[in-house]
């Protein structure tokens, strides 16, 4: 697929930018066997690794199908297997199920256990309230270091699409090997347009395939002119939100750069997975400021490195990315459910379970019925719906 330029509103606001579609869609893909990383790099690659799935988002860009009760990562209506389930199966290709930790909102613990019954219940950590990603990754590192001392964490979002599992495992293996030497690592994606909603990594030199390279500068969410300069220079990668580090290295950086957050969370590691955790976590999280790991740690850390991705990837940032999940007909329409089309081209149409949708004589529209309501918009405005959805949710 050829990445499309973002709409005008995307350049104006980091919250509405999306990453491009991958070159090939996984369409769900086969479930991994759990042997790929070991076969490619030897048993030693997995001996000290723990995968952390970040599954706490309350995304609004897939409204009205995605809601607060069932956000994007847990939706099964589009691809059969949810993005979360796919992420969990990729994690299983790296480590056994009992070495997977899931960070999610407390309200979604049930969804996690339902979609991945293989993950031990004690490994599902429910955050009582939203405090951005720094709190989640620090708490995950505390729990991992207590249960699996000396572990290396592969921390990855649970709502992205990744194709080519072998390439994914090779990239992760290279990052894990580098993490054993220290520092804070991330996986980089070569940018294809000047997105303002993602972190950029300026590398010390142009890397070879899957080669770890020192990051000279980490810039989170630049404005549009700076983003354009970054892309034109060829010296920057996008940060894909996938981090690799020793748990101890991350905790050391957190104690130095976010001492208040670290201090509030350290007592929680002992009770994680127990009945006492919920109340202790509620008290601890109430005192925390909301800050991302990007702003709070990565931009300030001295030893940051990146491995360029060798796999196809999409963050599935909104309805335009639905074509990565749904097959297209001869007229370029991507549909799900009971949909009848006539003289319609290039549309994305998702029908609800209770009634059909008839689409006649329109092109390049997004038409979706879901639990949250009904969305009808031109594709050129599909990435601009977030503030409007937030207004709708505020009225409820």
Query: What confidence score (pLDDT) does residue 193 get?
Result: 86
CA-to-CA separations, 155 to 170, 226, 392, in angstroms, rounded: 16, 28, 33
- Any idea which of 6-20, 117-131, 159-173, 287-301 has the lowest mean pLDDT? 6-20
- pLDDT digit string, tens, across residues 15-25: 333 333 333 33
80 or 127, greater pLDDT? 127
What's the farthest any 2 CA atoms get from each other in the chain?
A: 62
Q: Is the pLDDT of residue 391 over 70?
A: yes
Identify the band that residue 186 occupies on the pLDDT scale cut at 50, 70 and 90.
very high
- Each domain of the chain, given as residue ranges in start order, spans 8-314, 326-395
* Three-state DSSP state, 48: coil
Q: Is the pLDDT of residue 275 over 90?
A: no
Rounded to whole angstroms, the Cα distance separating 281 from 136 reads: 12
Rounded to whole angstroms, the Cα distance separating 269 from 278 reads: 12
Rounded to whole angstroms, the Cα distance separating 1 from 43 reads: 36
Give yes or no for a contact between 213 and 205, defined as CB atoms under 8 angstroms apart.
yes
Q: Please tell me the pTM assigned to this model.
A: 0.86
Mean pLDDT over 315-325 rounds to: 85
Q: Is the pLDDT of residue 78 over 70?
A: yes
Q: Rounded mean pLDDT of the chain? A: 86
CATH number (3.40.50.11600, 3.40.50.720, 3.90.550.10, 3.40.50.2000) of 8-314 reads 3.90.550.10
- pLDDT digit string, tens, across residues 168-185: 999 999 999 999 999 999
119 or 40, greater pLDDT? 119
Query: What confidence score (pLDDT) does residue 396 get?
Result: 60
Structure tokens at 221: 């969410």
Rounded to whole angstroms, the Cα distance separating 26 from 78 reads: 13
């Amino acid at each position: 697929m050829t990445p499309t330029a973002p709409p005008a509103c995307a350049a104006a606001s980091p919250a509405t930018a999306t990453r491009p579609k991958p070159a090939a869609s996984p369409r769900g893909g086969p479930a991994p066997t759990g042997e790929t990383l070991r076969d490619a790099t030897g048993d030693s690659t997995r001996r000290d690794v723990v995968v952390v799935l970040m599954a706490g988002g309350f995304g609004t860009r897939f409204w009205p199908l995605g809601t607060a009760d069932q956000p994007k990562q847990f939706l099964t209506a589009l691809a059969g297997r949810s993005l979360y389930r796919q992420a969990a199966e990729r994690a299983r290709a790296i480590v056994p199920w009992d070495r997977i930790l899931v960070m999610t909102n407390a309200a979604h613990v049930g969804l996690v256990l339902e979609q991945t019954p293989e993950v031990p219940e004690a490994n599902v950590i429910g955050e009582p309230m939203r405090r951005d990603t720094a709190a989640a990754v620090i708490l995950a590192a505390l729990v991992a270091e207590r249960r699996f001392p000396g572990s290396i964490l592969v921390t990855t979002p649970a709502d992205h699409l990744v194709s080519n599992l072998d390439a994914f495992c090779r990239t992760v293996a290279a990052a894990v090997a580098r993490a054993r030497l220290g520092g804070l690592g991330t996986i980089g994606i070569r940018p294809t347009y000047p997105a303002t909603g993602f972190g950029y990594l300026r590398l010390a030199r142009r890397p070879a395939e899957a080669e770890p390279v020192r990051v000279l500068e980490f810039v989170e969410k630049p404005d549009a002119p700076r983003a354009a300069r970054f892309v034109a220079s060829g010296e920057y990668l996008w940060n894909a939100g996938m981090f690799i580090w020793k748990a101890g290295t991350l905790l050391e950086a957190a104690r130095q750069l976010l001492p208040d957050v670290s201090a509030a969370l350290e007592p929680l590691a002992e009770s994680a997975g127990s009945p006492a955790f919920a109340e202790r976590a509620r008290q601890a999280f109430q005192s925390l400021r909301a800050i991302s790991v990007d702003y709070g740690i990565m931009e300030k850390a001295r030893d940051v490195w990146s491995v360029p991705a060798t796999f196809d990837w999409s963050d599935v940032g909104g309805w335009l990315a639905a074509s990565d999940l749904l097959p297209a007909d001869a007229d370029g329409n991507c549909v799900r459910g009971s949909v009848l089309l006539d003289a319609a081209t290039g549309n994305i149409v998702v029908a609800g379970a209770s009634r059909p949708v008839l689409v006649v004589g329109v092109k390049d529209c997004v038409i979706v019925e879901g639990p949250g309501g009904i969305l009808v918009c031109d594709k050129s405005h599909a990435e601009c719906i977030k503030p409007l959805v937030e207004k709708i949710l505020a009225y409820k």
